[in-house]
């Protein structure tokens, strides 16, 4: 088996590969929501319950990706579900790329400002890098169109707005709170960059299918 075969559509679409990746992402999603547990409880006690949905950014991205994989394993037969599937796929790509890069960048930005990294930080670097990479690899199996992608970008921008309007963004290394405006700007720009990446890979995928 050649190395190139490991990146082929034929290999990636194998049910065994999709199941393995689904299980890994589901486990990561559960761990992520546990990780955000304290912040979610804090948000409920000090804010409004509706804000909680915007708190666990990375595990929600992983949840979208898990759902997208499960929909590949079990394609929906119900009329109208196809549009929902496209939206989930677009969200999976945009948010996985965005929060995968964001988390790694924030960890190293904190280190540059004097934060001391521990083993959990390196674990997060590895897992979030994998989030971004897997989304760009498996996008070739997805079927979303520009309308679904536009909705996914809009949702992610809304998430950014709620995060920095109500202060429910992921807790940062302490050294970065003096640079919150720069973090906010970086977050918005990264959403647009991730949306562009999702559009670019969507165009490449659709062109190869013709």
In tens, the pLDDT along 56-108 reads 999 999 999 999 999 999 988 765 678 899 999 999 999 999 999 999 999 99
Do residues 120 and 106 touch, judged by C-beta distance below 8 A? no
- Please, what's the b/e burial string for 84-94 (b: 16 or more CB within 10 A of its CB; e: otherwise)? ebbbbbbbbbb
List, for residues 21-62, the tens digit of each pLDDT value.
Answer: 999 999 999 999 999 999 999 999 887 889 999 999 999 999
Identify the band that residue 206 occupies on the pLDDT scale cut at 50, 70 and 90: low
List, for residues 146-155, the tens digit of each pLDDT value.
Answer: 999 999 999 9
pLDDT on residue 77:
76
List, for residues 177-199, the tens digit of each pLDDT value.
Answer: 999 999 999 999 999 999 999 99
> Measured between alpha carbons, how far is 152 from 89 in angstroms, rounded to an integer?
9
Tokens of 160: 């950014």
Helix (H) or strand (E) holding 195: helix 180-209
pLDDT on residue 76:
80
Average pLDDT, the chain: 91
Helix (H) or strand (E) holding 47: none
pLDDT on residue 3:
57
């Amino acid at each position: 088996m050649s190395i190139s075969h490991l990146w082929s559509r034929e290999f990636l679409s194998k049910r065994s590969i999709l199941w393995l990746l689904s299980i890994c992402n589901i486990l990561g999603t559960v761990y992520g929501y546990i990780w955000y547990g304290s912040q979610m409880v804090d948000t409920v006690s000090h804010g409004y319950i509706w804000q909680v949905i915007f708190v666990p950014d990375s595990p929600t991205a992983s949840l979208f990706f898990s759902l997208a994989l499960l929909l590949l394993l079990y394609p929906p037969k119900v009329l109208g579900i196809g549009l929902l599937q496209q939206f989930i796929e677009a969200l999976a790509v945009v948010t996985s790329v965005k929060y995968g890069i964001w988390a790694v960048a924030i960890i190293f930005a904190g280190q540059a400002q004097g934060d001391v990294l521990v083993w959990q930080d390196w674990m997060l670097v590895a897992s979030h890098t994998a989030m971004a990479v897997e989304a760009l690899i498996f996008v070739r199996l997805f079927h979303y169109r520009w309308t679904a992608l536009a909705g996914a970008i809009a949702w992610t921008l809304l998430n950014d707005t709620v995060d920095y309007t109500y202060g429910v963004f992921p807790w940062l290394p302490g050294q970065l709170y003096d640079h919150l405006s720069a973090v906010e700007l970086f977050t918005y720009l990264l959403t647009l960059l991730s949306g562009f990446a999702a559009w670019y890979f969507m165009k490449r995928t659709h062109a190869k299918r013709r």
